[in-house]
Amino acid sequence: MLKVWIVGSEGQIGEAINEVLNPLEIEALNTDKNELDITETDEVLRFGEINRPDVIINCAALTDVELCEKEPEHAFRVNALGARNLSIVARKTGAKMVQLSTDDVFDGLGKKPYTEFDDTNPITVYGKSKLAGEKYVKEFTHKHFIIRSNWVYGTGNNFVNRVLASADEGQALSVAEDQYGSPTSARDLARIILYLIRTNEYGTYHATCMGVCSRYEFAKEVLRLSGKKEQLNPVPTPQSDLSSARPAYAVLDNFILRIIDVYDMPDWKESLAEFMKERMEG
């Protein structure tokens, strides 16, 4: 049995990990903000030393990009110092550490997909604080997996659910046609995380579903799969209803996964279809 501490277990990725893990192989220790605030250094160390997990998966973060802009100290406390605290536990106990991260560590001004070897240059407070978290993880632990993803959807507040909620209200939607990314289901991300923690292939990974689209194309596919006929307008980001100014070109190349050649991420349209089918049935 592998003892895995899932930090931020009530967020969409934490929940997805719990949904896909095999309870016969993994004992999950779940905590979220109410049980254990990752910014409370001594409490985090105490919890880690008492429970001694084999793996720590840090899914906890301040992910509201606008809130991060308004409260940068809060953002750095959670996204940087929180990751540092968990890394200290990982180092002390010998646990493997998984740090979730984001395409926002890049400026999004590029024209081709970013590999793990491209230089970072975050422009948002969210991106800067997440990069600081990555640096702490690298500084304090050796046995780490830093996993960057983007446009993740699962349960809770995400782009897919916002598109569907607007459509349910019969609202016409204006969606950015100038932002590009790779929609990635939280479950697919959970599966690659659970695969990697069994290996010793440490380092930084880009892990998104395969294929690229604009926000507009993403919303169009969500509406098509849901059978809803609400009007959808392609617009530039400043006029869009559902997405704030983020790195415009948020496309990550899963370069390392490709060259180690052991794991293929699925196509974004297939994953979205699976998600929508389950959502409509359930």
Of 13 and 232, the one with the shorter C-beta distance to ligand NAP is 13
Residue type, 161: N
Tell me, yes or no, if 249 is annotated catalytic: no
| Beta carbons of 15 and 9 less than 8 angstroms apart | yes
Asked if residues 248 and 180 have their Cβ atoms less than 8 Å apart, the reply is yes
Which of residues 43 and 177 has its CB atom nearest to ligand NAP in the complex? 43
Nearest distance from C-beta of residue 27 to ligand NAP, angstroms: 20
Q: Which residue is nearest to ligand NAP (CB)?
A: 11
Residue closer to ligand NAP, measured from CB, 233 or 237 = 237
Instruction: Determine the Cα–Cα distance for residues 110 and 120; give it in Å rounded to an integer.
Output: 11
- Of 172 and 278, the one with the shorter C-beta distance to ligand NAP is 278
User: Closest CB to ligand NAP among 45 and 233?
Assistant: 45
Among residues 127, 103, 106, the alpha carbon closest in space to that of 207 is found at 103
According to DSSP, the β-strands at 213-214 and 180-181 are: antiparallel
Output the smallest distance, CB 277 to ligand NAP, in A. 21
Residue 211 CB, shortest distance to ligand NAP, in Å, is 16
Give the N- to C-terminal CA distance of the chain in Å, as an integer. Answer: 31
Question: Of 126, 136, 153, 249, which residue is the catalytic one?
Answer: 126
In 10 A of CB 59, how many CB atoms?
25
* Alpha carbon distances (Å) from 134 to 115, 204, 213, 278: 16, 9, 27, 34
Question: Which stretches of the chain bind ligand NAP, using CB under 6 A?
Answer: 8, 10-14, 32-33, 37-39, 59-63, 78, 82, 100, 102, 130, 149-152, 156
Angle of CA points 105, 71, 68, to nearest 5°? 30
Angle at the Cα of 254 from the Cα atoms of 271 and 95, rounded to 5 degrees? 95
Q: Which uninterrupted H or E stretch holds 101?
A: strand 96-102
CB of 156 to ligand NAP, least distance (A): 5
**Least distance from C-beta 160 to ligand NAP, angstroms?**
11
Least CB distance from residue 231 to ligand NAP, whole Å?
A: 26
Q: In degrees, to the nearest 5, what angle opens at C-alpha 218 toward C-alphas 191 and 282?
A: 60
Nearest to 87 by CA among 74, 96, 100, 76: 96
Q: Which is nearer to ligand NAP, 151 or 216 (CB)?
A: 151
Enzyme catalytic residues: 126
